[in-house]
Amino acid sequence: MRRFIRSIGPAKLTLAAFDLLVLTFVAAVILFVRSRFFGYTVSLNEFLFFACSTLVAIGIFREFQLYRNKLFSTGADQIVLLGKAMLWVGIVQIFAIFLIKNKSLLDYSRGHVLLFLVGGWLGLSLMRVAFYRHVHVKYFGGRPNARRVVIIGAGRAGQSLAARIMETPQLGLNIAGFVDDDKTLNGLHLFGRPIVGGVEGIARHIKQLGVEELFIAINSVEYSRLLEIIEACRATNLPVTITADHFRIVRDNIGTSEFPCIESLTLRPHKFEFPHRTLKELIDVVGAAIMLLLLAPLFTAMSIAVKLSSKGPIFYRTQVVGKNGKLFTWYKFRTMVVDGDEDQHRDLVEKIIKENTSTRKLQSDPRITSIGAILRKYSLDELPQIINVLRGEMSLIGPRPCLPYEYQHFDEWHRRRFAVTPGITGLWQVFGRNRHDVTFNDSIILDLYYIQNYSLWLDVKIILKTIPVVLFGRGGA
């Protein structure tokens, strides 16, 4: 328990407890007013509904980074983020009410959701800005308790990071030592802290130093070796913060840094296992079935358009590489003429992978039909992959599958993206598709970040980001 408190930070746990108290108070006021002035009999189900709502709210607050160290002493940023987070709490409540429907089980209207949303936002804003700020300064010195960290990498990047941490005490970090694979450095000291050995002994080192968080600061390293280091660090089940430039694409687009003056991303202890995988599979099947029903008219219209635009079948079927490197039949609306020459595309793919160039698609491809160009621009050609989702071969969200002739050019670390079920949309499709400044390795890093940092909330964010990509044709070709 003591280690748990220190790993998260007493300041964060205290703030979360106050958040729970405020939301519980707001819920109690709503139930009291309904009972006292409107004659409602409050049921146990309503108590449970509010209890679940407050716990869900804490999870949503965490996803909105409302427990980041840099927010503890700010006012405006917290109020804005709290408003957005409470809006999502309201959406979750409305969705729950829609699913329950039976008023004998839960007599709760959308008006009460609005009261909880607005009351929670006002109460939390007042508590955090007017009250907790003083608690934070008085009991936590205006900053979180100093966490003992170890820096992986004693080179230029590691030393630069150490200097930044030491000159910024408000970060609440205390460097316990360094880890580096260079055996000639073993036993030496940097900034008065020891270099204790290599990454292979990381579990022993963190126990010896009493470490609560790990920082990886290595730039001059191959992608494959960096991923091995990350896996070794994550196996310790401690938070891992990465400052390496290899993850620039994630850092710049997703913004996961907890520390305002350090360009970094933080991976929290997490394993994509049951029940997360089971819940994701359930959402995939239900979501795909609903989409298929709602989009049936659009499917029919596009099928007719494809058939009339050129000779050939409506669907394009091909073998692609999926989870664990297994092949499956992939469905798309046909957007090209039948028996078109693939050599130009094969050459482009080989160049992109081997030279790590931009992932932009082939420009002015003569194989694309007139209707096909429209479907590709708005990614409508991808919709038949809903069939693959229902067959369990794909997910709604996940890394992109690839063609066998692409797979054969992949390095071993590239193939890590196939550790999970591929998806119709994902981080690469949202942040990197058809952009001149996103390289092939960047696209792989986006997929690997998704695998390593999966959460239901991340899926929700990807879906929301996908909508404008489809509506406005961003990145389509």
The enclosing domain of 208 has a CATH number of 3.40.50.720
pLDDT of residue 141: 57
Residues 113 and 259 in one domain: no
Ranges of H-type helices in 9-132: 10-38, 44-63, 76-100, 110-126
Residues 443 and 401 in one domain: yes
Q: Contact at 8 Å (CB) between 45 and 53? A: no
Residue 128 lies in a domain: yes
Residue 14 lies in a domain: yes
Query: What are the backbone angles phi and psi of residue 173, rounded to the nearest 5°?
Result: -120, 140
405/408 Cα distance (integer angstroms): 5
Residues 252 and 292 in one domain: no
Residue 384 lies in a domain: yes
pLDDT of residue 289: 95
Residues 115 and 212 in one domain: no
Q: In Å, how far are 45, 321, 335, 397, 455 from 424, measured between CA atoms?
A: 38, 14, 17, 6, 17
Residues 155 and 234 in one domain: yes
Residue 476 lies in a domain: no
Residue 233 lies in a domain: yes
Per-residue tokens: 69: 């160290």
Domains: count for the chain: 3
Residues 284 and 262 in one domain: no
Return the exposure string of 320-359: e unless at least 16 CB atoms fall within 10 Å of the residue's CB, then b: bbbbeeeebebbbbbbbbeeeeeeebeebbeebbeeeebb
Q: Contact at 8 Å (CB) between 166 and 191? A: yes
pLDDT of residue 24: 92
Residue 477 lies in a domain: no
Residues 113 and 235 in one domain: no
Residues 176 and 134 in one domain: no
Residue 119 lies in a domain: yes
Domain that holds residue 320: 276-471
**Residue 333: beta bridge partners?**
315
Pick the last residue of a domain from 117, 140, 163: 140
pLDDT of residue 388: 97
Residues 426 and 303 in one domain: yes
Residues 124 and 173 in one domain: no
pLDDT of residue 110: 66
Residues 134 and 179 in one domain: no
Pick the last residue of a domain from 236, 267, 298: 267
253/248 Cα distance (integer angstroms): 8
Residues 89 and 209 in one domain: no
pLDDT of residue 14: 84
Pick the last residue of a domain from 86, 108, 140: 140
Contacts of 449 (CB under 8 A, 6+ apart): 247, 250, 254, 265, 427
Q: What is the pTM of this model?
A: 0.76
pLDDT tens for each residue of the chain, 477 residues long: 555 445 556 777 888 898 999 999 998 888 888 777 766 766 677 778 888 889 999 988 887 878 875 555 556 767 888 988 899 898 888 888 777 766 655 556 667 788 888 999 999 999 888 887 777 666 665 555 567 899 999 999 999 999 999 998 877 789 999 999 999 999 999 999 999 999 999 999 999 999 988 999 998 899 999 999 999 999 898 889 999 888 888 887 776 666 767 888 888 766 555 567 788 899 999 999 999 999 999 999 999 999 998 899 999 999 999 999 999 999 999 999 988 778 888 898 999 999 998 887 776 778 899 999 999 988 899 999 999 999 999 999 999 999 999 999 999 999 999 999 999 999 988 887 767 788 999 999 999 999 988 888 788 889 888 888 887 766 555
Residue 114: helix, strand or coil by DSSP? helix
Listing from the earlier edge strand, what are the strands of the sheet with 265-267?
173-179, 147-152, 213-216, 240-242, 265-267
Q: Contact at 8 Å (CB) between 345 and 393? A: no
* Pairing assessment for the beta strands 265-267 and 240-242 based on DSSP bridges: antiparallel
Residue 127 lies in a domain: yes
